[in-house]
Structure 1
Amino acid sequence: MWAAAGYSPLGELLFEPASRTEPALQLWLLCFLTFGVAFWLNARRKGPGAIWLLGLQTAAAMGVLATGHDGSEGVLLCIVAAQAPSLLPSRRATQWVVGMAVLTAAVYFVILPLESAVPMAAIFTGFMGFTTMVARLQQREAEGRRELARLHTELKAAQVLLADREREQERLRISRELHDSLGHHLTALSLNLEAASHTVTGPGEEHVRRAHKVARTLLGEVREVVSAMRDGPSQLGPSLQALAQGVPGLDVHLQVPDKLSIPDPVAAQSVFRCVQEVITNTLRHASAKNLWIDVITTDEGGIQVHARDDGKGAATLKPGTGLTGMQERFAQLGGRVELRPAGGQGMELVAWLPARGGEG
């Protein structure tokens, strides 16, 4: 659309050398190139300077229209109208487009006869309204996809936690059965063998003593197994892998040690919630395609979560409820959470728990 708007004047500049000295055509060329550069920069990033670039595009488009030939250059304002809903809040975008429509009509009434200005102003006002509506619908659809992806992630997190809880309950049930049934019978067997060792004499005495020793050994091993099943560390790796798989609209690249375990259940829950919050925030705010998360054990035996994305980032960041809760949770365990925003370069997060909270 930008190239089509400049087709006729550019042809005049190329094939009619005498026209290159005309101030109006030189101003047109400056505005035309300014619009193209500003649009290209805005298409590459949507950082803090995006609104200024949108304003520069609007001013350049008005300059092209005012110094143009037949009024068809108003198509550049339709390009601006298509960008406004993605860069501005809904009300401000509407005000921006209405303001452009008023200025466009004013320019047409100045540069064109009345019989031509009225239909041109009506046509391009309609085009601007249409492109704004389509862009707004697309924006809402994209927001709906992000919200659906966020809810999907929360549902998957709930499923993973539920599965972990079921495995934990099953482990506790098995440990109780071992303790109450097998442990009871081995205890009774050990007591009977001990009593038998005091009454049996002759060649059978040694066999009874050996059987008693084996029974006591088995009883000790059963107690160790029961204790390990009750108090065993949480295997965090499979839970995190399940959480990161199949996130809609986002490729999550998760690196977790194969046998990562955290003895403290509160610390394990905090690390899990940290990864969940990172995925959710990236879906909601970052407009990213990739998210890299590394969960590693430090040299001191602690746990570190390092996350970064390739989204739009931010020059400054005001933590919301989720990030604030994460920082408070890690602080209670003696850890910390650091956020490193960078406008146009994605977001980076480093969270750390001390050795008493985790071990590999």
Structure 2
Amino acid sequence: MTSPVRALWDAPAAAPAPPRRVWRDWLLVVAIPLLAVFEASVRTDVPWRWLWAVVLIALAPTLLWRRSRPFTMLAIAFAAGTTVGLATAGDPQLYTTAYFLILLYAAFRWGSGRAMIASGALVVIGMLLTFLATPPELADVIGGVAVAVTTGTLGLAVRWRRRVRTRELEQVRLLEREQLARDLHDAVAHHVSAIAIQAQAGSAVAATDPGATLQVLHAIEAEATRTLREMRAMVGVLRAPDDALAPTPGLAEIRSLQATDAAAPTVVVRLGGDLDSVPQAVAAAVFRIAQEAVTNARRHARDATRIEVAADVDADGVRLEVRDDGVGAASVTPGYGITGMRERAGLLGGTCEAGPAPGGGWVVAARLPRAGWTA
């Protein structure tokens, strides 16, 4: 076999799997016999009309298995129809025989590659036998072929559209999981890191300064409360209806990162420009980048005493810089945090870089141009 034919031959059945029974199936099983009897009773000029009505009544139940066994049902129907057509030396002239097209559509919509190829061959053989028994007009041949090809093509088109839609949904789910992973990492890791730092400080001063230990415990309680609040907010968003609007942090919330704890580096925040002019999605991304950068600085910057966070809004966009005065490594392997910051900036057409600062320490610099969020 050539490569395209082999690829079609090995193609699996349609995914996702079809429903086994729906109300429309039972409606068709009842409607086809009724229509066949009605048409046979009113079209007295059609030869062998009652024989074809009986055949259609007997074949109607095959519609119940047209999705799970499309080729088998089509083979049964075409074998019976072709046999009766050859025996009566004439084409079925009842309009109800369009029932066969439903099975042909199902073979190309739901069947595997082998089922589609075999179904196409079966239809061609059935047409040839019928045409040889009763030579038709050229217009009838063209019309019959056109109807069969159109039916099969329609089944393939719906199948392909459903496949593309399924892939789009899978991509959306993947993006949602990545977004949730970034939010969990940025929000929860920030507070948990602060709790860990405070706990270490409390352990160090517990024996010598009970008052400082009490302050540390209060700080841990506050961080834990904020963590629980953000976790509840995330769970609420996941459980809310699709049309619910979830509150998201903005640029003003960057001030909440400011801290003057003696046991940790001091965090100083400076905001400039028209904060309200920044779209909510961009503001939330800037906040998460700043939050992650502060978390990394508090966790990894050795001997750091000060962390500066500066966010400026101007006519070109938003500039964010998070700088610490610690002793940072010359280079670092990007982890989930740095990767998440870069992804957030990239999704909005911006950039985010992290590395050693020229004057010492470590700096995270993000740039989100207006062109990226207004395109």
TM band (smaller chain) = 0.3 to 0.5
TM-score of the pair, normalised by structure 2: 0.43
Name the structure where helix makes up a greater proportion of residues.
1
TM-score of the pair, normalised by structure 1: 0.45
Q: RCO (CA 8 Å, sep 6+): is it higher in 1 or 2?
A: 1
